[in-house]
Copies of this chain bind each other. A is one copy, B any other.
Amino acid sequence: MKSNNSTRPVVSFPKLALLAAVFLGIVFLLPRPAGLEPAAWRLLGIFVATVLGLMIEPMPGGALVLLAVTLASILGGLTIQQALAGYGDPTVWLVMAAFFISRALINTGLARRIALFFVRLFGKSSLGISYALSASDMVLASIIPSNAARSGGVVLPIMRSIAELYGSQPGATAALLGSFLFTAVYQNICVTAAMFFTGQASNPLAAQMAAQAGYTVTWTSWFLAGIVPGLCSLTIVPMVVLRLNPPKIRHTPEAAAFASRELAAMGPLSREEKIMATVFATVCGMWVTSGWHKVDITVTALLGSAALLVSGVLKWEDVKSERAAWDIFIWYGGLLRLGKALGDAGVTTEFAGGVAGIFGGASWELLFAAGLLIYFYAHYGFASITAHMLAMYPAFLALFAAKAAPLGLVVYAFACFTNLAAGLTHYGTTPSPMFYAHGYVSFRRWWTTGFVVSLINIAIWSVVGFSWWKLLGLW
């Protein structure tokens, strides 16, 4: 949805017609609850058609959202001011500022240096390499919300180089080392995405939707919630994958030596890297402590970008040319606003009331367990974490709020599970096809690994995670 569709030249009119039919179906066939305005019902039609559009992609997601925003101002009962308000939303600008910082983190080479550092430290065995790369991705996930840039842009190239170092290429030699590394690390980048507020671009969106449902999620609270089950998964998953896709080469001193050589070639930290490291540490430090000093995390991120711009570490040209960021900006700001408007118009509450009425007899615990599983495995149908979150997250939140389930548990469980579920397929989130396309792993092996790891992750996060969250007082 983010980058891979950008070069597709064709707009699919049959698919657009389907979206129009869905819209018309909702507006004219679906019975409108008495409490809702016709405009609210049309807004629902626009929203559903848009989310469906993000899944079937009749045209690039950003273009579709821009169209939806425009239509919302004509048909959905919003003024054009209200429809466009998402583009001034601090959450959206948090993501933008983090994107700008990411660009500098990658351009200065610091991100690569961090990854090489971990490989030098842990890279003497194949399992160690997978830990090193996961650890790098985890550190970067604390500030880089683009998993495509982080996992696909920084971690992936180093992993490929290491596999080739041991003569493991796609095909006959894949099983030497590559197939293990690609599956183990891919599974772990879905875990790191679940661990942070900034782990993945739509996590702040989940936080926004939670706020609308009356529950506040901060960078710090997500960090605390994610760290324990996250570290468990990051440790256990590669061990499981090691049994599923055992590499022939277990002992890999050459990988650590490779990292040493690369680090030596990079020389000491450059002026740019030093400034970058300082900004990185300061921004993360400010985020962790934001509960105390109350500086808004968007302000911190913008100050971080500004510091990089003023020091010349980040070029303005890079900001203007950050196409992926501008793409995300348009669909993100638009969808955020439409979701909010839907809540404001009372549609979400109405829906939850209806569903809660149907399941009136069931306990929330039973519904929660069933709901989480359905939600998780529904990701087989999604090519994007954001689309999944948009389509299902607010509905489940509203449902469980209506059932008086503990909101903290619901908010974190569903938000984290959306990210973990991306591991199921080779298209679950933007970097998935980047990893899969290297061709080290067959379709069958990729999906088998995804399914087995999904059981492990669900077990870890339900047992360790939910207990930890109980301990934290989140529920």
Contact = CB atoms under 8 A, between A and B. Distances in A.
Among A80, A296, A326, residue most surrounded by chain B Cβ atoms (within 10 Å): A80
Nearest to A85: B88
Interface string A61-89: 01100110110011000001100111111
A81 to B, nearest CB: 6
A310 B6 contact: no
A9 B312 contact: yes
A298 B78 CA distance: 14
A299 B88 contact: no
State the copy count for this chain.
2
Contact of A59 (B16, B298, B303, B309): B309
Interface in A138-164: none
A428 interface: no
Contacts of A86: 88
Given A80-B299, A84-B88, A310 B11 contact: yes
Contacts of A70: 299, 302-303, 306
A66 to B, nearest CB: 6
A62 B306 contact: no
A62 B319 contact: yes
Category for how many chain A residues contact B: 35 or more
A261 B153 CA distance: 49
Contact of A80 (B59, B296, B311, B333): B296
Interface in A163-216: none
Nearest to A313: B11
B303 A63 contact: no
Contacts of A310: 11, 16, 59, 63, 67
Given A74-B299, A87-B87, A320 B327 contact: yes
Given A84-B89, A312-B9, A296 B73 contact: yes
Given A310-B16, A317-B6, A87 B80 contact: no
A305 interface: yes
Given A81-B90, A88-B84, A88-B88, A66 B309 contact: yes
Interface in A229-272: none
Name the residue among A9, A16, A84, A333 with the largest chain B CB count within 10 angstroms: A84
A10 B313 CA distance: 10
B326 A320 contact: yes
5 contacts: A11-B312, A63-B319, A67-B306, A85-B85, A319-B330
Closest 3 pairs between A and B when the two form their complex, measured CB to CB = A88-B88, A60-B316, A70-B302
Interface of A: 6-7, 9-11, 16, 59-60, 62-63, 66-67, 69-70, 73-74, 80-81, 84-90, 93, 296, 298-299, 302-303, 305-306, 309-312, 315-317, 319-321, 323-324, 326-327, 330, 333
Given A317-B323, A321-B323, 9 more contacts: A63-B306, A63-B309, A63-B310, A69-B302, A73-B296, A80-B90, A80-B298, A81-B89, A319-B326
